[in-house]
Amino acid sequence: MIQLQVIELSKTFQRRKVFENISFSLRDCDSLVITGPNGSGKTTLLRLLCGFIRPTSGQIIYSEQGHNLSWRQVRQRLGWVAAELVLYEELTAIENLNFFAKVRGLSHTTADSKRLLSMMALERCGNDPVASYSAGMKQRLKFAFALLPEPEILLLDEPSSNLDEEGRRLLDSIIEQQKQRGLLLVATNDPREVHYGETLLQLGAGDVSNNEQRFTF
């Protein structure tokens, strides 16, 4: 199983300090919720954990059986959902999934894309262009994209954005499955999503209770 260790992590943009000296570790099937006010660095932290940007200082170490993983190895096992994830609206949902799977070098077929769309209750519109999708349907498609590699690491930024009640039920199912498969990290301001993690990382001010552990920065 993959383990994650974050050591004294800090990030500054120009002269603005986003956060500093964050440390935590996750292993096996651990789950972490990151919360805090707007501008506290939740999305920035997830982007650092994906390797999309570099920290100002500190370390992010993914390892397996005592061996550190390269960022290329990490990304092969990582799923990501965020507002900044861009889908090709002129393509159908199936074409999007097939394309992204090819880009990632995954062994993947159209049947696999249809299975993922069925999981997200999008099977009836898999051949429709994404431009015709509602905001909630696009969010569901992003989850299908994140599940392409059957990720051992799943990072979700405001995951219930634009989802209706059915979408939230699908999200709950994805969360529970991920907790059995690998690491889960969720950034959110929605109090209904705090229960997704056994551990809470709180950035900036604010308070959330009823979690087994709490780290405040």
Q: Is residue 54 part of a domain?
A: yes
Q: Is residue 49 part of a domain?
A: yes
Give the model confidence (pLDDT) of 6-36 as tens digits.
Answer: 999 999 998 899 999 999 999 989 999 999 9
Q: Is residue 175 part of a domain?
A: no
Task: Catalogue the E-assigned strands of 70-122.
Answer: 78-81
Low pLDDT (below 70) residues in the chain = 205-217
Q: Is residue 23 part of a domain?
A: yes
Domain ranges, residue 30: 1-77+186-217
Q: Is residue 82 part of a domain?
A: no
Report the number of distinct structural domains present in the chain.
1
- The full DSSP string for 113-142 is HHHHHHHTT-GGGTTSBGGGS-HHHHHHHH
Q: Is residue 10 part of a domain?
A: yes
Strand order across the 153-157 sheet: 78-81, 153-157, 183-187, 31-35, 199-202, 213-216
Q: Rounded to an integer, what distance in angstroms lies between the CA atom of residue 73 and that of residue 2?
A: 11
Q: Is residue 72 part of a domain?
A: yes
Residues in contact with 86: Cβ distance below 8 Å, sequence separation at least 6, in sequence order: none
Q: Is residue 148 part of a domain?
A: no
Output the domain CATH number for residue 213: 3.40.50.300
